[in-house]
A and B are shown apart, each in its own frame.
Chain A
Amino acid sequence: MSKVTLTIDGLDVEAEKETTILRAALDNDIYIPHLCYHPELSPSGICRLCMVNADGEVVMSCQTPVDQGMVVKTKDPEIDRLRRTSIEILVANHHASCRGCPGSGPCALQKIMAYIRIDRKRVRRLRLPEEDLPKDQSNPYFDYDPNHCVLCNICVQTCEKIQGALHVIGRGIRTQIAFYGNNADCQSCMECVARCPVGALTAKESRSTHG
């Protein structure tokens, strides 16, 4: 495959021709906020956070292939303004505090919040969810906490290729990940738990992760 050279934040970067901007950036240790991207899955483009300025146009970097001579800026005031609102909405709807969250530490949302320097005062302008949603503890190997879930869909996409046991259910704000009442399909490979970028899917404590 042929290579192209582009500039990301002033840095010359070489990338394979079909690669997306997001992948080229991450491969070169340039961070772009994202939740739904996983290197082993095809881009679903649903978190809508990975916007960059490519040759003067704001695009989703996970959807846009690199091009020879392309000039990419991962931050500028317009991107920051547009992205900040989406992230604040996400944080406002994130029912849980980070204290005691099993995802805390490697959490992708925490990373994004630090990156944009989230302003809690701005988040408080938004309306917070009224009640916590019940956890789904029906699976013998791991639990699902919808309050922590950012619906990146990585678990569903991962399972699709393995077992197809995880599904998206509901619509709008009630959208969740679920087994559709069919836990028997789960082979407990735990790949979904391993790939969960936040603390939504967590292994049951009493079981080994390869139970």
Chain B
Amino acid sequence: MSAKCNALVCLGTGCQSGGAEEVLSSLKEEIDRLSLGETVQVKQTGCHGFCQRGPLVVIEPEGIFYSKVSLDDVSEIAKSLLPGEPPVDRLFYREPATDTPLPHYMEIPFYSKQQRTILRNCGHIDPEEIEEYLAAGGYQTIKKVLLGMSREEVIDEIKRSGLRGLGGAGFPTGRKWEVCYKAQGPKKYVICNGDEGDPGAFQDRSVMEGTPHSVLEGMMIAAYAIGAQQGYIYVRAEYPLAVKRLRIAISQAKQKGFLGKDILGSGFDFKIALFQGAGAFVCGEETALIASVEGFRGMPRLRPPFPAESGMEGKPTIIDNVKTLASIPVIIDQGAESFARVGTEKSKGTVVFALTGKVENNGLIEVPMGMTLREIIFDIGGGIPDGKTFKAVQTGGPSGGCLPESALDMPVDFDSLKAAGSMMGSGGLVVMDEDTCMVDLARYFLDFTQRESCGQCTPCRLGTKQLFDILNDITKGQGRPEDIDLLLEISEAVSTHSLCALGKTAPNPVITTIRYFRDEYEAHINEKRCPTGVCGMLET
């Protein structure tokens, strides 16, 4: 092993649940016991990405990758760090088809096909140490902005980059900022939307946990551009580690003078407060989120006015997703043109997905916009486990559509996903294999949305409940011949008339499963048969 190295232990939520904290403390003890403290630095990091293989330990600078590390493996890893010792090859990742060991993570297709921009620090630096972020070039862009760019130049840069909001709607970020910049008023707000409530999604959590300072830096740049003095990070209380690391990051940024009064002597004042959400899915909707921060029941409000003109306390407010904000320093650093070279014509840059479900490699990934679903699922994801076949993929969370095999070669970007009946959403990507019943799946997602509807508007409150009840009947063998048409009719009413995006998108799983898997509905209704055997039917 080389003279000086870092042993990085992933302490993302996934690896922690696998015992990574114990691995970290035990590895530290072993390194001390072997008197290697001078040459080996043992550090915690945020999510490295390959959650399914956790706990992960990475030896840098070589990039040696140990997966599924347990306490029993620690002493061997420590010994391998002695001068002249070979690495522990039994802990290497092995190529599933050939059993070939791949010692370095950049050789593993899960990593090599990715392009990590938003996640560039995730898994590489200790998220609880601002010094590490600074050493990685952190807070250089806020310096560049405060000391050398006008507010108009910043907005122009973001506009030219083509960045679109990564929280779901894909609205051009620069245009939103411009509206807020032009809105009159001495008081404005920047809000970071970290209310990630989709089942199976962990991309925003991983960014907040793995590189919290990137989020703060993005917020600072946004605040400078629009003229805000106060920022809020709205984060779910169910994300204790993200809360803890953001708290630490805010306090360290304050100590270093990146937050507070007269930042870097520029005359710019900016503070950030943390606000913990209480678990309502609808609070991820921007107007409901604002209501929640204001102390009201989290219910969406009519738009217009849009928050950029009248948001928090009626003041102009920018509300951006975690990943959108974490992209801002990248754009300022690389320049808009360089950023815009990645991606498709109308969707620029990269996109972070939480890749889950019936796929060999589960984890946190980042790919350029325009990569096909097939590359994501089969190259990065390693395909479907246990020799099963692919059936469908759902993108965009519980309100996303379920796309079949025929959609696999579609490039993933905002517009193509929407055209296929799904959406980018916040970046959930759930893979289903042949054993999944599509009617039961639609029922599952509608059960979620009907429970999480804020109950305010008629089509969403009652329409999603009707959809759920009908789907429930169908899965129990009690479907009626007219139910498929009825589902589509209600879906249209709910998606066209609901007040907010929760209702407008909630029928997507129903519409797409009928569009692409209608025969399964017909089998349930007409033959009282579940083709996959998932639904317990009355007769077979």
Q: Say whether A associates with B.
A: yes
Q: Which residues of A contact B (CB under 8 A)?
A: 35, 43-49, 51, 58, 63, 82, 85-86, 89-90, 92-93, 125-127, 150-151, 153, 167-168, 170-175
The complex places the Cα of A172 from the Cα of B464 at a distance, in Å, of: 9
Q: Which of B280, B493, B499 has the most CB of A within 10 A?
A: B493
Return 6 A-B CB contacts under 8 Å, by A number.
A48-B499, A89-B463, A89-B466, A126-B466, A151-B456, A171-B454
Q: Which of B297, B451, B455, B496 has the most CB of A within 10 A?
A: B455
Which 3 residue pairs of A and B lie closest in terms of their CB atoms, listed nearest first?
A175-B455, A127-B469, A85-B493
The complex places the Cα of A71 from the Cα of B349 at a distance, in Å, of: 43
Task: Establish whether residues A173 and B450, one from each chain, have CB atoms under 8 Å apart when the complex forms.
Answer: yes
Among B139-147, B482-490, B515-523, the stretch in contact with A:
B482-490
Known: A85-B493, A89-B463, A127-B469. A48 touches B458 (CB 8 A): yes
Q: Does B156 touch A at the CB level, under 8 Å?
A: no
Known: A86-B497, A175-B456. A92 touches B466 (CB 8 A): yes
Q: Which residues of B sit under 8 angstroms from A92, Cβ to Cβ?
A: 462, 466
Residue ID in chain A nearest B454 by CB atoms: A171
The complex places the Cα of A151 from the Cα of B465 at a distance, in Å, of: 15
Task: Establish whether residues A90 and B462, one from each chain, have CB atoms under 8 Å apart when the complex forms.
Answer: yes
Q: Does B29 touch A at the CB level, under 8 Å?
A: no
Q: Which residues of B sit under 8 angstroms from A89, Cβ to Cβ?
A: 458-459, 462-463, 466, 490, 493
The complex places the Cα of A174 from the Cα of B498 at a distance, in Å, of: 18
Q: Which residues of B sit under 8 angstroms from A44, Cβ to Cβ?
A: 302
CB distance from A65 to the nearest CB of B (A): 11
Task: Establish whether residues B486 and A125, one from each chain, have CB atoms under 8 Å apart when the complex forms.
Answer: yes
Q: Does B333 touch A at the CB level, under 8 Å?
A: no
Q: Does B375 touch A at the CB level, under 8 Å?
A: no
Known: A171-B452, A172-B453. A48 touches B466 (CB 8 A): no
Q: Does B438 touch A at the CB level, under 8 Å?
A: no
CB distance from B148 to the nearest CB of A (A): 44
Q: Which residues of B sit under 8 angstroms from A126, Cβ to Cβ?
A: 466, 486
CB distance from B466 to the nearest CB of A (A): 6
Task: Establish whether residues B458 and A47, one from each chain, have CB atoms under 8 Å apart when the complex forms.
Answer: yes
Task: Establish whether residues A48 and B498, one from each chain, have CB atoms under 8 Å apart when the complex forms.
Answer: yes
Known: A45-B499, A127-B466. A173 touches B461 (CB 8 A): yes
Q: Does B492 touch A at the CB level, under 8 Å?
A: yes
Contact partner, B455, options A82, A127, A151, Cβ 8 Å = A151
CB distance from A171 to the nearest CB of B (A): 5
The complex places the Cα of A10 from the Cα of B490 at a distance, in Å, of: 31
Task: Establish whether residues B492 and A85, one from each chain, have CB atoms under 8 Å apart when the complex forms.
Answer: yes
Residue ID in chain A nearest B449 by CB atoms: A172
Task: Establish whether residues B463 and A86, one from each chain, have CB atoms under 8 Å apart when the complex forms.
Answer: yes
Q: Which residues of B sit under 8 angstroms from A174, Cβ to Cβ?
A: 455
Q: Does B470 touch A at the CB level, under 8 Å?
A: yes
Task: Establish whether residues A46 and B451, one from each chain, have CB atoms under 8 Å apart when the complex forms.
Answer: no
Residue ID in chain A nearest B302 by CB atoms: A45
CB distance from B491 to the nearest CB of A (A): 10
The complex places the Cα of A142 from the Cα of B451 at a distance, in Å, of: 29
Q: Which residues of B contact A (CB under 8 A)?
A: 280, 282, 297, 299, 302, 450-459, 461-466, 469-470, 473, 480, 482, 486, 489-490, 492-493, 496-499
CB distance from B498 to the nearest CB of A (A): 7
Residue ID in chain A nearest B486 by CB atoms: A125
Task: Establish whether residues A86 and B459, one from each chain, have CB atoms under 8 Å apart when the complex forms.
Answer: yes
Task: Establish whether residues B451 and A171, one from each chain, have CB atoms under 8 Å apart when the complex forms.
Answer: yes
Residue ID in chain B nearest A92 by CB atoms: B466
The complex places the Cα of A126 from the Cα of B499 at a distance, in Å, of: 22
Q: Which residues of A sit under 8 angstroms from B461, Cβ to Cβ?
A: 151, 172-173, 175
Q: Which of A46, A150, A167 has the most CB of B within 10 A?
A: A46
Q: Which residues of B sit under 8 angstroms from A125, Cβ to Cβ?
A: 480, 482, 486
Contact partner, A82, options B282, B302, B470, B497, Cβ 8 Å = B497
Q: Which of A125, A153, A170, A175 has the most CB of B within 10 A?
A: A125
Q: Which residues of B sit under 8 angstroms from A82, Cβ to Cβ?
A: 492-493, 496-497
Residue ID in chain A nearest B482 by CB atoms: A125
Residue ID in chain B nearest A84 by CB atoms: B493
The complex places the Cα of A65 from the Cα of B493 at a distance, in Å, of: 23
Task: Establish whether residues B493 and A86, one from each chain, have CB atoms under 8 Å apart when the complex forms.
Answer: yes
Known: A85-B492, A89-B493. A168 touches B455 (CB 8 A): yes
Task: Establish whether residues A127 and B470, one from each chain, have CB atoms under 8 Å apart when the complex forms.
Answer: yes
Contact partner, A171, options B453, B470, B473, B486, Cβ 8 Å = B453
Known: A82-B493, A85-B492. A171 touches B455 (CB 8 A): yes
Known: A127-B473, A172-B455. A46 touches B499 (CB 8 A): yes
Residue ID in chain B nearest A51 by CB atoms: B497
The complex places the Cα of A43 from the Cα of B499 at a distance, in Å, of: 13
The complex places the Cα of A51 from the Cα of B451 at a distance, in Å, of: 26
The complex places the Cα of A171 from the Cα of B281 at a distance, in Å, of: 11
Q: Which residues of A sit under 8 angstroms from B486, Cβ to Cβ?
A: 125-126
The complex places the Cα of A46 from the Cα of B469 at a distance, in Å, of: 23
The complex places the Cα of A51 from the Cα of B455 at a distance, in Å, of: 20
The complex places the Cα of A86 from the Cα of B451 at a distance, in Å, of: 19
The complex places the Cα of A109 from the Cα of B452 at a distance, in Å, of: 26
Task: Establish whether residues A46 and B456, one from each chain, have CB atoms under 8 Å apart when the complex forms.
Answer: yes
The complex places the Cα of A96 from the Cα of B453 at a distance, in Å, of: 23
The complex places the Cα of A63 from the Cα of B457 at a distance, in Å, of: 14
Known pairs A43-B302, A93-B462, A172-B453 / 5 extra A-B pairs, C-beta < 8 Å: A35-B458, A48-B499, A168-B297, A168-B299, A172-B454
Q: Which residues of A sit under 8 angstroms from B455, Cβ to Cβ?
A: 151, 168, 170-175
Q: Which residues of A sit under 8 angstroms from B462, Cβ to Cβ?
A: 89-90, 92-93, 173
Contact partner, A48, options B452, B459, B469, Cβ 8 Å = B459
The complex places the Cα of A44 from the Cα of B456 at a distance, in Å, of: 10
Q: Which residues of A sit under 8 angstroms from B480, Cβ to Cβ?
A: 125
CB distance from B209 to the nearest CB of A (A): 28
Q: Which of A43, A44, A167 has the most CB of B within 10 A?
A: A44
CB distance from A89 to the nearest CB of B (A): 4
Q: Which residues of A sit under 8 angstroms from B473, Cβ to Cβ?
A: 127
The complex places the Cα of A171 from the Cα of B464 at a distance, in Å, of: 12
Known: A45-B302, A48-B459, A127-B473. A173 touches B280 (CB 8 A): no
The complex places the Cα of A92 from the Cα of B299 at a distance, in Å, of: 24
The complex places the Cα of A170 from the Cα of B280 at a distance, in Å, of: 11
Q: Which residues of A sit under 8 angstroms from B499, Cβ to Cβ?
A: 45-46, 48
Q: Which residues of B sit under 8 angstroms from A172, Cβ to Cβ?
A: 450-455, 461, 464-465
The complex places the Cα of A126 from the Cα of B470 at a distance, in Å, of: 8
The complex places the Cα of A89 from the Cα of B451 at a distance, in Å, of: 17
CB distance from A40 to the nearest CB of B (A): 18
Q: Which residues of B sit under 8 angstroms from A85, Cβ to Cβ?
A: 463, 489-490, 492-493
Residue ID in chain B nearest A44 by CB atoms: B302
